[in-house]
Amino acid sequence: MKPIKLKIKTKTQNYPIIIGSNLISKFSQINKQNSLSFNKCLIVVDKNVPKKFITEIKKSLKKNEVFICFFKANETNKNFPIINKILDTLLSKNFSREDCLISIGGGITGDVSGFAASIFKRGMKFINVPTTLLSQVDSSIGGKTGINSSHGKNLIGSFYQPNLVLSDINFLKSLPKREIACGYGEILKHSLINDRKFFHFLDKNVNKILQLSSPIIEKTIYESCKIKKIVVEKDEKEKNLRKILNFGHTFGHAYEASLNYSKKLNHGEAVILGMKTALTYSFNLKLLNKRDFELIINHINSLKLTNSIDKFFTVKYLNKILFFMTKDKKNKSQKISLVLLKKIGSPLINKEFSKNKLKIFLNNYLRNKNLD
């Protein structure tokens, strides 16, 4: 199957997303086709990425001066010390703004690398090579970069668009099934906030997608990216419309932080749990009808993930979860801002709720009194 190209056009940068197989062996060729040149590059790579892929990229970049920084990608390492390590390498090797930082890894690696690229000499060239399904359909598109702090997730960062995104399907074949299912959660989110027809496509093809069957997986990634492209192009800096992409994330980020970013619950799983919570809240508020609610919940349950809230949290976590929800960067007042759903394809943004109102809901939810 020929690679698929999707062009992202924002006010600050136009760049292509290229989706296909065996792309990294043609890395230099693809750069040239997209008028992207540099003398030096620093590759920031997740230690979990199989070495054969790094060897292929280095071989393709043989005409360039290549440096490598290995990174143990997890939420606790998404911090200032790793940023300083990357910046030290760039400065000591005398990189210029016309040289390039290349991220090879999942969303954490991309967030960290993009942030470092954005602040090095006020911005250098940046190529993102997302290696997980989650990062291929989400964090690699739209230019959000950042690191965590003790106050919450992604509270320090910048908007910085890449020069190129290369989504090679071959990386996905090295991932455990759990990671594929987590990436699928983000694809599902895109369908719920934008496209009922795409949701029905997913409902019909979920098993083929999770098995990475071609050409279904390429089409799925493309359609998912297309939805995010539309949103990002209309609202690059998340002033209004782009907030719909946070469906499930206010709850999800709070769940992650409440467990101190434990491996028991990764980001994709937290977002799926967050979507289930947001769907239940939408249903309880009589915003979402029973038919759509049950259709979505049954679909999520069919993924056979650990997607029950009571496997991770009891009511003892209530105040901790609420604390992190109050720290969410979308909040503009003392109230907590949520993205909810009124039907498949129709989200509601800027819905604000008092901490007390959410406390009552979560108290019942965590006690299994109104679980989906």
Contact 249, 340 (CB under 8 A): no
Rg (CA), the chain: 20
Residues 6+ apart with CB under 8 A from 263: 74
Q: What spatial distance separates the first Cα and last Cα of the chain, rounded to whole Å?
A: 40
Looking at the fold, whether 151 and 193 belong to one and the same domain comes out as: no
The total of structural domains in the chain comes to 2
Looking at the fold, whether 270 and 250 belong to one and the same domain comes out as: yes
**Is residue 302 classed exposed, middle or buried when 0-12, 13-18 and 19+ CB atoms within 10 A define those classes?**
exposed
C-alpha angle 170/172/174, rounded to 5°?
90
- Confidence grade of residue 51 (pLDDT, cut at 50, 70, 90): very high
Looking at the fold, whether 149 and 185 belong to one and the same domain comes out as: no
DSSP calls for 288-345:
S-HHHHHHHHHHHHTT--S--GGGT--GGGHHHHHHHHHT-TT--SSSEEEEEEEETT
pLDDT digits (tens, 9 = 90+) for 202-225: 999 999 999 999 999 999 999 999
Q: Which amino acid is at 142?
A: G
**Is residue 92 included in any domain, yes or no?**
yes
Looking at the fold, whether 157 and 69 belong to one and the same domain comes out as: yes
pLDDT digits (tens, 9 = 90+) for 300-315: 988 877 668 888 999 9
- Asked which of 174, 200, 215 is the last residue of a domain, the reply is 174
Q: How far apart (Å, rounded) are the C-alpha atoms in residues 75 and 142? A: 20
Closest among 130, 148, 127 to 138, alpha carbons compared:
130
Q: How far apart (Å, rounded) are the C-alpha atoms in residues 26 and 23? A: 5
Q: How far apart (Å, rounded) are the C-alpha atoms in residues 315 and 251? A: 15
Q: How far apart (Å, rounded) are the C-alpha atoms in residues 280 and 302? A: 17
Token code pair at residue 344: 């498949």
Is 349's pLDDT higher than 80? yes
Looking at the fold, whether 188 and 163 belong to one and the same domain comes out as: no
pTM of the model: 0.88
Do β-strands 125-130 and 164-168 pair in parallel, antiparallel, or remain unpaired?
parallel
Closest among 209, 184, 162, 361 to 266, alpha carbons compared:
184
Residues 6+ apart with CB under 8 A from 270: 252, 253, 255, 256
Range of the domain at 306: 177-366
Looking at the fold, whether 340 and 231 belong to one and the same domain comes out as: yes
Point out the least confidently predicted range of 71-85, 141-155, 186-200.
Answer: 141-155
Q: What is the pLDDT of residue 18?
A: 97
Q: What is the mean pLDDT of residues 152-164?
A: 92
Looking at the fold, whether 142 and 189 belong to one and the same domain comes out as: no
Looking at the fold, whether 349 and 209 belong to one and the same domain comes out as: yes
Is 370's pLDDT higher than 60? no
Is 157's pLDDT higher than 80? yes
Do β-strands 152-159 and 144-149 pair in parallel, antiparallel, or remain unpaired?
antiparallel
CATH label of the domain that carries residue 50: 3.40.50.1970
Looking at the fold, whether 212 and 361 belong to one and the same domain comes out as: yes
**Is residue 371 included in any domain, yes or no?**
no
- Confidence grade of residue 371 (pLDDT, cut at 50, 70, 90): low
